[in-house]
Chains A and B, each alone.
Chain A
Amino acid sequence: MLFWVIAAILTLGASLAVLLPLTGGVKGGSPAGDHDLEVYRDQLSELDRDMARGLIQPAEAEEARAEIGRRILRLGAAMQPGAATPKPARSARWVASVAVLAVPLLSWGLYSMLGSPDLPSQPLAERLAKNPADSSVDELVARAEAHLAANPADGKGWDVLAPIYLRLQRFPDAVTAYRNAIRLDGDSAVRQSGLGEAIASAAGGIVSADAQNAFEAALKLDPANAKANFYLAVGLAQEGKKAEAVAAWQKMLGQLAPDSPWRSAVQQALAEAGGPAVADAAPATGPDAQQVEAAKQMSPQDRQAMIETMVAGLDDKLKQNPRDEEGWMRLIRSYVVLGKADQARAALGRAVAAFGADSAQAKKFTAFAASLGVTATE
């Protein structure tokens, strides 16, 4: 509403700027010739000053004076015919009325096409200050972030935000938040297992050495922590120790409360462990969405075969172009996931050889492989 009032006032002001001069009295502006005469006079006086300072020689000054004099004469002649202001013609009145009307019509018409009059301004501070109940999750998170940016030492804040990040799939943020919470408010099984989950999720589901450490730290504080137990077993499965993983899961089933939400997850994991345990890790690695979709339709044996074909293809490609850092890491991980520890080790050896044992890449490969439980053969 306020906006429309302001818009109306602005329009009125603009229209008046057109209207008032049209209706107002005409100030008798001095004819153009007077302006010129003034300038010529000044040129003459300046000529004298220049001459006094030696900027022009007397003979030339005389010549210049004559030139200016001629211009003044010509001016006088031009001014003689009485250039009386003509009466406002009908056409002028027509132009004037169109102009006055055009301002409101054009501006309101154009604005109604372009503007969003119903959308209020939304300064960030105001949005963050309004009732939390009206806010979206994004806004709540932003509010928390703004709070933590101002008070980075608020461990409780990080603790609240971390699982939200995890649910919003902002995994790297979740890792940072958990780490901050642990640093500021100390260890707890929930925080450590959350950190582990965040690290694993950020790595596309791979339970890396870092994640493993976090889960183990959680178990030290609470040996019955379901999340930590579950993911450690996933890690075992990914390393190819399927039997140990199955044992761990079965042990969990025995301990979990009947209504525990983890029950179904564990049961599903056990069911999959019957087949090849790739489901957790596959999407981020090699096959594209279509292939994954196709793989889901296949029998377990076919699926295994298809995955092996793809891995072999990657292997071949790397033989031809060994300087593909990403590719090597993908290959090592694939072999680990397929449970072929020997081949994974061999791939690591080839990868290191391709870049030279001292290269930064070699170190990266070794560290990566170690995080999957693969060590070099030497």
Chain B
Amino acid sequence: MTRKQKRLSVILAGLAFLGAAAGLTFYALGQKASYFYMPAELATASVQPGQRIRLGGLVASGTVMRGNGATVAFSVTDTQKSVKVTYTGILPDLFREGQGVITEGAFGPDGVFVADSVLAKHDERYMPKEVADGLKAKGVWVESKSQ
């Protein structure tokens, strides 16, 4: 190989490597990113049981049931539809009825959403941003005017 060919092959190898990395990245974006839904959107979206999604909304008042041990059941609602969720673990400190929440997990075959993480991350209005945006889009939540 001449010097030029050598350099060319090195550059080609580098480009192939970058291409592979880029391909992997976009494959992973398609496969591994989890989509966010509000309960009412689930009717139109076809979400298979077992597919990981993020489900957000408000914790419906009076639906939080503590079962055996550390399993908790509650409903997540966007005031139009609501979805039953079960979760085993410690709920975040900011979890409360009527407040916004994001759960991550998948639907079981019985239609109950089995969450493996519950987030109540929030801004000062106790509202996760996806939930706030979703509720705003539905006209349920009106941003309070700043004092």
Contacts and interface: CB of A to CB of B under 8 A. Distances in A.
Contacts of B63: 323
> Which of B60, B61, B62, B63 has the largest number of chain A CB atoms within 10 A?
B62
A355 B63 CA distance: 10
Contacts of A324: 61-62
Determine the main DSSP class of B at the interface with A.
loop
Nearest to A327: B61
A325 B62 CA distance: 7
Nearest to B65: A359
Nearest to A361: B62
Interface of B: 60-63
Interface residues of A, number: 5
Contacts, number: 10
Q: Which 5 A-B pairs have the closest CB atoms?
A: A323-B62, A325-B62, A325-B61, A361-B62, A323-B61
Interface string A347-378: 00000000100000100000000000000000
Interface string A319-361: 0000111000000000000000000000000000001000001
Contacts of B61: 323-325
A293 B62 CA distance: 33
B58 to A, nearest CB: 13
Interface string A296-328: 000000000000000000000000000111000
Contacts of A323: 60-63
Contacts of B62: 323-325, 355, 361
Interface string A230-251: 0000000000000000000000
A361 B60 CA distance: 15
7 contacts: A323-B60, A323-B61, A323-B62, A324-B61, A324-B62, A325-B61, A355-B62
